[in-house]
Amino acid sequence: MHTTPRREAESTATFVAEPAGGTAVTETNVAPDRAAELRGQMVDALVADGTIISTQVEAVMRAVPRHRFALDASLEQAYDAYKAVFTKKDEHGVITSSVSAPQIQAMMLEQADIGPGMRVLEIGSGGYNAELLAELVGEAGEVTTMDIDSDVTARAARLLADTGYGRVRVVTGDAEAGEPAGAPYDRIMVTAGAWDVPPAWTAQLAPAGRLVVPLRIKGLTRSIAFDRVADHLIGSSGQVCGFVPMQGAGVHQEQQLLVTGTGEIALRFDDGLPLEPSRLDNAVRTPRAESWTGVRVGRQEPFDTLQLFLATVLPGFCIMAVDPDLDTGLVAPSNKWFSMATVDDRGFAYLTTRPTADPQTVEFGVHAFGPNGPALTETVAAQVRAWDQEQRGGPGPRIEVHPAGTPDDRLPAGRVVDKRHSRVTISWSAARSADDQVVPPAPTAQGE
């Protein structure tokens, strides 16, 4: 593993304008000692918070000068352990490329478990992560990095050459087909948000290969380490993350339902709208129903398994967002941008919280609208309690990816999410029996 620090002063980066939060990095103003100091602080923070756990990942992140790949950032921004640096936007101002936050990059490198001599394909290029991969595989290994955007790959190739890593193979192409020229790969690392797993990614893995991918399931993105087992993938170590979405043939857009007609309240669906979305039109005209679960969590306590659990057991699961400029207070989620929600025949419910006597904790509750609101709140509240009693603090679900068309009797028990190329299954631990894991029917509206 090559860990000799390069000379920071050799950077050829130039800037048009100075970024906020510090002085732009140029070839004349980089202080090598200051860059090394900030890089050390970044790695120290990631070791302290448990993101970096291996000596290999720690060593390469201490060695590679990240600021030379974050050309539109100050040194302070480049070495912020928890923030991404955006490198390209489209004509609408939408971010299309970035250097991911160091925390996310370290997390995925740990998931990938890359060793010397491996062949690695990176999908979603930028240069910095490819150099980290090259450090991990060493001189005997091979790294290919690819991106659909020729501007991104040209930039990556230039920066990799500038830092002495011209041996990394840079490819421009749509990753839906993978990159067969370098296959089979011991590891495929996807650094763009994916809604599906194309067949090429599994086919191009070595028999015992591993795919690390930020996979979106029911609107929730998790970085999952999948190991290949014959024709399918078995996942573990799902971690919350966010990425610029895939472009090209793998693009997939969420669908949005405005329940008030004004844009104040939007419900986002990852796998298609309800069969009769117009039946929700009058839901907000009914009184709001409430149910409190008695389930408490610490204000800083992660509860990402609750999100996946509700996505598994609630057939109408979706994400609710409130436009702050149009907010009338009709709904009161704890997070206006991202709240877990679900719909039934003629109404919707969402998860919220309220303070408790202990200032360090909050209690989960459910609000609902529609003629079946009271019953819907109880349905959701019951599932929150089930998570608390049976899954909280556990390892999370087992997630598998099987080829599209795989018969039901060849899939594990649990929720099946059908996508274009695959069937994704979410199965929970033995605390719930197979019968318990059958998805319950949506509640029927009262009076029908």
Q: Enumerate the active-site residues.
A: 100
* Token duo for residue 439: 């998805």
Cα–Cα distance, 166 to 255 (Å, whole number): 42
289-298 and 265-269 as β-strands: parallel, antiparallel, unpaired? Answer: unpaired
Handedness of CA 266, 267, 270, 275 (dihedral sign): negative
Cα–Cα distance, 387 to 332 (Å, whole number): 23
Handedness of CA 49, 55, 60, 63 (dihedral sign): positive
Query: Which amino acid is it at 375?
Result: A
Q: Compute the half-sphere exposure of residue 402: CA atoms within 13 Å on the CB side of its CA.
A: 17
DSSP state of 9: G
DSSP state of 193: B
Question: Which element (helix H / strand E) includes 71?
Answer: none
Phi and psi at residue 112, to the nearest 5°: -70, -30
Q: Which residues contact 33 (CB under 8 A, 6 or more apart)?
A: none
Cα–Cα distance, 215 to 221 (Å, whole number): 5
- Cβ atoms 426, 312 nearer than 8 A: yes
DSSP state of 194: B
- Cβ atoms 428, 414 nearer than 8 A: yes
Find how far residue 243's CA is from the centre of its chain: 6
